[in-house]
Amino acid sequence: MHFVINGCEAELDFDPRTSLLDLLREHRHLFGAKKGCDQGACGACTVLVDGTRINSCLALAVQYQDCAITTIEGLGGPDKLHPLQAAFVEHDGFQCGYCTPGQICSALGMVEELKRGVPSYVSADVSAAGFELTDDELRERMSGNLCRCGAYNGIVDAIHDTFGADGAEPARREAA
């Protein structure tokens, strides 16, 4: 089976019952995405597939052949942080860091949803063409990503600092 993970192509052979999370962690040794609940409740396993955020613990890997799979390792690293990673550092958006890769991937997926005009539960006008990234919208749209350390205020600040009030702008900060 053919996969594209963080821009690298790979031919992989594995049990077709393998979840995408297990494929990434156990077969590709990409340990950024975490196995928290393994049942779709915590968001620690969030990755991007063709720019859309998904819980990789609930996804069968075979479904995502030939898709562009992006994990936190594909966004940036210590030598060149993604702007949102840098903002998490600057705003104390994490403590233990367990949830952080999922938070960052999820936030990037959320911004894509804003661009597409996808409403949330708290959107007043679901027919609107676009949505401002208010605190309420941000907290609702990120509610699938839990942080046991309670670093939510820093997470909100980091996302706002990176994407601004409309959320639809590309990252404004330069990578560190």
Footprint on this chain of ligand FES (rule: CB under 6 A): 35-38, 40-45, 55, 57, 94-100, 147-149, 151
Closer residue to ligand FES in complex, CB, 99/111: 99
> In this structure, are residues 75 and 52 in contact, taking their beta carbons and an 8 Å threshold?
no
- Report in angstroms how near the CB of residue 131 gets to ligand FES at its nearest: 24
Residue 154: CB minimum distance to ligand FES, A: 9
DSSP string across 39-94: SSSS-TTEEEETTEEEEGGGSBGGGGTTSEEE-HHHH-BTTB--HHHHHHHHTT--
**In the complex, least distance from residue 108 CB atom to ligand FES, rounded to whole angstroms:** 17
Nearer to ligand FES by Cβ, of 56 and 162: the residue is 56
CB atoms within 10 A of CB 97: 13
| Contact (CB, 8 A) for 133 and 120 | no
Strands ordered across the beta sheet of 2-5? 8-11, 2-5, 68-70, 46-49, 52-55
Which one, 15 or 92, has the nearer CB to ligand FES?
92
CB of 59 to ligand FES, least distance (A): 9
Give the nearer residue to ligand FES in terms of CB position, either 20 or 131: 20
